[in-house]
Structure 1
Amino acid sequence: MEARNTDKQQGTIWQDEASRLVFAELVNVFYTREISRLANELDHGRLKKKLASLPYYIERAATHIVLGDVPLQLDSHNGCWVATQKKIPSQGLDKIHLYYENKAEVGLVVPVVVTQAHETSLCIDMIDQVNQSQIHCNQFGWFTLDGQGVHSSDLSLLRPTKALMTAACCGHRWHYHKIVTPRVLGLREMLLASSINWRNVTKRKLVSG
């Protein structure tokens, strides 16, 4: 039933002028952003594949955003979400370990802290493997249960909270613990944001058939 309702909602995009405008703005900004990223791709084979799939992923991301799957304030002109930025996040390793020891599951979207050259950024990634002692995220790789990056000390996992997931989706970052201009999310993270269970970010979002 939910899938049918979603189809009906998607059809209304073209019936509502405001929704059409937001959709068009998002598609335009995503194309501009992704084409600029792909300009640095030197492998012609990979470039061809990415260009071929780009329209599908751009339309999918724009559709999810217009349908309201992400309950954040949207800046459609710049293709990003906005929220008040707070101080750099911190969590105890014991709480992180307790959470991932009991709640880690494939399909869960989690906040990843990236620290490089005195700059700290919040990103989102999805868990795709779990074993007794480690967690693997699709983009950032393996982490211990207490959130430490296995192959890089620049990476760490935090326990998901709504505030953290909001900050990550808004691209919040800090330099020497001072707030700086948010980073621009790539299309993959924009899509991932709609996979977050915003009603309870500590649990995986269930997809209805």
Structure 2
Amino acid sequence: MDKQRLITSSTQSSLWHDEHERLQFAELVNVFYAREIPALAKKADNEQISRALLSLPYYVERAARHIVQGCVPLELDSHNGSWLCAQKAQPKWHADVCEHYFSRHASVGLVVPIVISGDGLTRIVIDTIDQVRDNTVHCNQYQWFDCSGRSHDYDSTMMLKPSKALLSAACCGHQWRFTKAISPRILSLREMLLASMINWENVRTIKKRPY
């Protein structure tokens, strides 16, 4: 009898876990559509809007699935489609630290934190390295940096040496105004998906099987 109760309890626990994941997935899909469609509506190019709408279901469902089933060590707020963690002090850029790291360890596919500052506002974002050559690094969205982390294309934009704390802050949308913490920003669908591509066990290496 006790054995039967144990089996039933285990089965119920498994079913609850599956149902919990299913509900999180549904909440994320709804949130992402609610975010992405108004953003697309602001685009002036009708052909671009049409292409984006055709691919949107694939990317929304892919992001939601990978977020729910991934191994991101952050609290997930599925109602708002965001990651949560305690906000710390504004990050600082150290050219010598970045130079020492990126000149030796920059590699294609690595997810890196990037700090963007302007008009008293500082925010931290994530991007992926897609080219490494001639002591420079190219990121998918923020383009070229030298190995010290200084951007070739944007003023007050710096690439930082990856750390769990910095990547966590970027995934949670942390930002500061005149060094004081303010409410986190909402991440794009792309950024939410990038969080699942981080090798959280060792953030300075590439995940073997990225989502």
TM-score of the two chains, using structure 2 as the length reference: 0.90
Alignment counterpart, residue 42 of structure 2, candidates 32, 40, 43? 40
Preserved contact between residue 170 and residue 182 of structure 1 (Cα < 8 Å)? yes
Residue 139, structure 1, aligned to residue 141, structure 2: yes
Give the unaligned 5+ runs of structure 1: 1-11
Counterparts in 2 of 1:59 and 1:95: CA distance versus 1, 3 Å: same
Task: Give the drift of 1:15.
Answer: 8.1
Identity percentage of aligned residues: 51
Counterparts in 2 of 1:191 and 1:13: CA distance versus 1, 3 Å: farther
Task: Tell me the equivalent position of 1:25.
Answer: 27
Write out per-residue CA displacement over residues 68-118 of structure 1, whole angstroms, 9 at most, x where no aligned residue.
332210000000000000110114211110100011011000001111211
Counterpart CA distance in 2 for 1:154 and 1:56 is 35
Q: Secondary structure at the match of 2:21?
A: helix
Task: Give the drift of 1:65.
Answer: 1.2
Task: Tell me the equivalent position of 1:8.
Answer: none
Task: Tell me the equivalent position of 1:56.
Answer: 58
Counterpart CA distance in 2 for 1:158 and 1:68 is 24
Preserved contact between residue 114 and residue 159 of structure 2 (Cα < 8 Å)? yes
Task: Give the drift of 1:13.
Answer: 9.5
TM-score of the two chains, using structure 1 as the length reference: 0.90
Counterpart CA distance in 2 for 1:114 and 1:50 is 27
Task: Tell me the equivalent position of 2:101.
Answer: 99
C-alpha RMSD of matched pairs (Å): 1.6
Counterpart CA distance in 1 for 2:142 and 2:93 is 19
Give the unaligned 5+ runs of structure 2: 1-13
Task: Tell me the equivalent position of 2:150.
Answer: 148
Residue 185, structure 1, aligned to residue 165, structure 2: no
